[in-house]
Amino acid sequence: MKITTETPIYYFIKNESNGSFHHIELEAYLEIPQKGNISNFQTLEDIRLFVSKDLDNNEIVSFHYEGGRNDCIGHWANNKEELVKQKESESSIYRFKTTDRETYLNLREEVFKIYLAHPKTDFEKLKVGSEYNF
């Protein structure tokens, strides 16, 4: 399929960050029209970030990135309405908001900045005799 300026790409964001943590998820899908009113939706990108802001007491950083060119992962929806309905569902695992390309890319850049700014596991704090609280 040749991508043109008319090729639909759908962008979804979820930002549940608050004063104590960042929790941001982004997903983008390329619509691939099929026969009739049916479409396939190829996942272009899936990003998930969770970072504790209280790094003095809780060092929690979780980052997941899935994406690439010609990825074979897709969404089960058969049309745009099904895709949007499922992504915007109030179910606890969804609650995404549909957004535009510019907003998506700005938040995407922010996610990478947040991830890179936070320290990775400090193994020096795990020396014999040091305190480690569960």
Residue type, 47: I
pTM above threshold 0.75: yes
For position 130, what pLDDT does the model report? 66
Name the nearest CA neighbour of 25 among 4, 53, 50.
Answer: 50
54: left (phi over 0), alpha (psi -120 to 50) or beta: beta
Per-residue pLDDT of the chain (134 residues; tens, 9 = 90+): 778 888 899 999 999 998 888 999 999 999 988 888 888 889 999 999 999 867 666 678 899 999 977 766 778 788 889 999 999 988 767 899 999 999 999 999 999 999 998 877 777 777 776 666 64
Tokens 């991508």 -> residue? 3
- CA 107 from chain centre, in angstroms, equals 10
Question: How far is Cα 15 from Cα 58, in angstroms, rounded to an integer?
Answer: 20
Nearest to 31 by CA among 81, 68, 67: 81
d(CA 17, CA 67): 23
